[in-house]
Chain A
Amino acid sequence: MGLVMGTFSVQTKPVTYHKDTADDDFEMTIVCHRPEGLDQLEAQTNFNKRELQVLYRGFKNECPSGVVNEDTFKQIYSQFFPHGDASTYAHYLFNAFDAGHTGSIKFEDFVTALSILLRGSVTEKLQWTFNLYDINRDGYINKEEMTDIVRAIYDMMGKYTYPVLKTDAPKQHVDAFFQKMDKNRDGVVTLDEFILSCQEDENIMRSLQLFENVI
């Protein structure tokens, strides 16, 4: 019988067998979130009804429960960057989207951030970016925060790049950034310095307009 053979197989992996306990019933409390009405969202953001519909359908498809937690967000974001590891940058993005620091992104947060990024004024966009870089939300970007961000971006490139990624490439990048942005050379970049420096740079201004037609 198979049992006899099975008894002397090499499988000694300790398998835990699951009893049908009562806690199984309470395992998943389904958190369901419903967004505000279409009209309200239209008033609050710079999108029209049709665009909101499209956005919501995509959002809901990915997260039927109506909220995104960080793991799902990382997974979704990593799909776009198959070469490298996008999870660190996704973490920073998640914190930037999650304005209320609730640990999950609702559709309103999602749409508010997108509205700023795609339809907002230059100042708003730069402010959002500043908030993204300012990891600890103290109003200043210091070198460590910037290095973390830049390293996260470089992580997305993965291993196979041309030219070969050197380990100090992020650091050099950050030094160049501070050279440009830190006007008073105090080692941190404030919001005003940031906005001012970006407005002076033509490349940055042009690239900010790049994603206008995403939707």
Chain B
Amino acid sequence: MATGVAAWLPFARAAAIGWMPVANCPMPIAPRDNTKRQDELIILNVSGRRFQTWRTTLDRYPDTLLGSSEKDFFYNEDTKEYFFDRDPDAFRSILNFYRTGKLHYPRHECISAYDEELTFFGIIPEIIGDCCYEEYKDRKRENLERLQDDQEETKDMKLPNMSFRETMWRAFENPHTSTMALVFYYVTGFFIAISVITNVVETVPCGSTFNQKDMPCGERYTVAFFCIDTACVMIFTVEYLLRLFAAPSRYRFMRSVMSIIDVVAILPYYIGLVMTNNEDVSGAFVTLRVFRVFRIFKFSRHSQGLRILGYTLKSCASELGFLLFSLTMAIIIFATVMFYAEKGSSSSKFTSIPASFWYTIVTMTTLGYGDMVPKTIAGKIFGSICSLSGVLVIALPVPVIVSNFSRIYHQNQRADKRRAQKKARMARIRIAKSGSANAFLQSKRNGLLSELLELTGKDEEDQKSVSLLESQHHHLLHCLEKTTAHEFVDEQMYEQNFLETALQTFPSHSPSTASHDSPAVTCCSRKERRNTPLPSAGLPPSHPSSAHQSALHELSAIRIHCGDPLSHSTSRSNLNVKPDDSSRINSKSGRITTAIISLPSPPALSSDGDGLHGPLQRRSHPPSIQTTASSAGINIVKVSAL
């Protein structure tokens, strides 16, 4: 039953009294309303904005969140209200749906955000009212197209195990994927151009020799042109055969438009080779030469715009058909009229109705060659009417075609623009993502540092407060480490260890081995570094400061002085570190300048395909870290640098 009219049910039931006298048998028992609850006001607190409505309003739609018992999960006992952590602006339209029975789509709202809200509250979008449904559907379609464009982008990526055939097909379809493909692309383009140009130049009169009249170049330099033609056709044949070989579905490939064009382009040559210069077939032979011009269509593989044009014409087939039909009608009408109007005049060119077709076409398209002109007055009148109506008939379907073309073209432009932006976007997202991975490693180091400080008997006042969520996440990662008996390390460490195990060098020689490393591990020779892994403490050895760091933070130097703040080398513990490149450490004062550590927001419970949701929290440490000049004479300076 339409719940909009639910409020009218009591009226309908009361009006049933009118049937009672007429009825012969007793009426059934009325259902009792056991939940005789006073209608109460419900408070819905959506992100701070309070909405109030009657309970019965919400009960109208029992298969949605607000109408069912699902909202009990959001009930706050203390404030006696239902709290939803959602967008209050979008909630307005949702609540209005309960009130009025009609769901409206606010135009300023983003389509996917709105969709999410609808899904959350359990409302299907199909019930959007007619006033807003068109808009909703259009926006949704646009969004879908945009997403699909993005997805198609990923299809370009090389799959790990592609057979030779697949690689070749991919090279043919996307020339920008490999250099060979690009070379091939340009070579074929060049030969298509050559072929078309030779076809054209063949017919140009080349100048006459003294005893022969002007003859076209084709006949003069027959051999040269034949050679060029042969070369082009050979290239085209090879290309076609290669494509046929590489195509995933040969049958479908052979039916596709491009391959038909290819075949039509090269076939005349072979037919010409086979046929002899016979008198009977020479006419057909000439016709075959005409087909050579189809080679120019091979350019559509090289040109996006041509393909768009072709697709537009195909998609506007109905408009074109209409154009053609209306033109034909008008031509016949006007040709008939003109013929009969001009019948009287002498030496009239309008000899028959088909002959008048030419005049009508020329006039309606406003060409006006002037080879046929009406002479009688009636003819002139009808001729002017003809040209005026011609403009109208042609002008009508053309804008439809143009708008179609424009839409497709812009869609294509948008795809290109998005592809260009995508790289930068992906890079930034990758940086943000790696931040979360590094957070754990950093917290490990911090944890071990504080352990170390405990060992040396100092209590570090400058404890970083880590959020509960983060500490729990790190605990989880720590458990994983313990399960597998391996530890997480960052890339540089991994490279070093990998090389160490591979080369099995003495630890003290590791700087030299590290210098053979990939450029990812930069090693400055002046910096002393001892690479001593401490599996027991689990502290990863210090890594060289890398100028290439893109990560947001990296704990780069832990320094323990003893006594003289200037000496790096005489360190008591085996944590031998080196200062940061930019020497942020002013060792004299034992202070550091600014160290900003950015911690990514914890990834818990809010995920989407992109990864990082929340804003990156930036915490800046106090510019000076207290140097505790203790009795032991140890200055512990903690340096965290970007």
Contacts and interface: CB of A to CB of B under 8 A. Distances in A.
A81 B124 contact: no
B73 A56 contact: yes
Interface residues of B, number: 83
A7 B304 contact: yes
A139 interface: no
B304 A12 contact: yes
Is the contact region of chain B dominated by helix, strand, or loop, or is it mixed? helix
A52 interface: yes
Interface in A13-49: 13-20, 24-25, 30, 32, 34-35, 37-38
A65 B119 contact: yes
A100 interface: no
Given A35-B70, A161-B494, A14 B173 contact: yes
A37 B69 contact: yes
Contact of B302 (A3, A8, A35, A38): A8
Given A17-B311, A34-B122, A57-B85, A12 B605 contact: no
B72 A64 contact: no
A180 interface: no
A98 to B, nearest CB: 19
Interface stretch (A117-125, A127-135, A150-158, A182-190): A150-158
A61 B607 CA distance: 10
A12 B489 contact: no
Q: Which of A15, A38, A154, A169 has the most CB of B within 10 A?
A: A15
Contacts of B440: 83
B11 to A, nearest CB: 31
B347 to A, nearest CB: 47
Interface string B593-620: 0000000000111111101000000000
Given A32-B122, A62-B605, A75-B607, A17 B411 contact: yes
A173 B124 CA distance: 50
Given A38-B69, A80-B603, A161 B185 contact: no
Contacts of B72: 37-38
A196 interface: no
B201 interface: no
B484 A12 contact: no
Interface in A66-102: 66, 75-76, 79-83
Interface in B198-254: none
B389 interface: no
Q: Which of A16, A75, A157 has the most CB of B within 10 A?
A: A157
B437 A80 contact: no
Contacts of A7: 303-306
A8 B70 CA distance: 58
Given A13-B156, A79-B603, A157-B488, A34 B302 contact: no
Nearest to A25: B137
B281 interface: no
Given A34-B70, A82-B437, A160 B311 contact: no
B363 to A, nearest CB: 30
B148 interface: yes
B315 to A, nearest CB: 7
Interface of B: 63, 65, 68-70, 72-75, 77, 85, 116, 119-120, 122, 124-125, 137, 141, 144-145, 148-149, 152, 156, 173-176, 182, 185, 301-307, 311, 315, 408-409, 411-413, 415-416, 433-434, 436-437, 440, 472-473, 476-477, 479-481, 483-484, 486-491, 493-494, 497-498, 501, 533, 535, 540, 603-609, 611
Question: A-B pairs with the 8 shortest C-beta distances?
Answer: A7-B305, A160-B494, A64-B120, A64-B119, A56-B73, A161-B486, A7-B303, A79-B603
Interface of A: 2-4, 6-20, 24-25, 30, 32, 34-35, 37-38, 50, 52-53, 56-58, 60-62, 64-66, 75-76, 79-83, 153-154, 156-165, 169, 173, 207, 210, 214
30 contacts: A7-B303, A7-B305, A9-B304, A12-B304, A13-B152, A13-B173, A15-B149, A15-B412, A17-B311, A20-B141, A24-B144, A32-B119, A38-B73, A60-B73, A61-B85, A62-B605, A66-B122, A153-B484, A157-B486, A157-B488, A159-B494, A160-B493, A161-B486, A162-B494, A162-B497, A162-B533, A162-B540, A163-B535, A164-B498, A173-B484
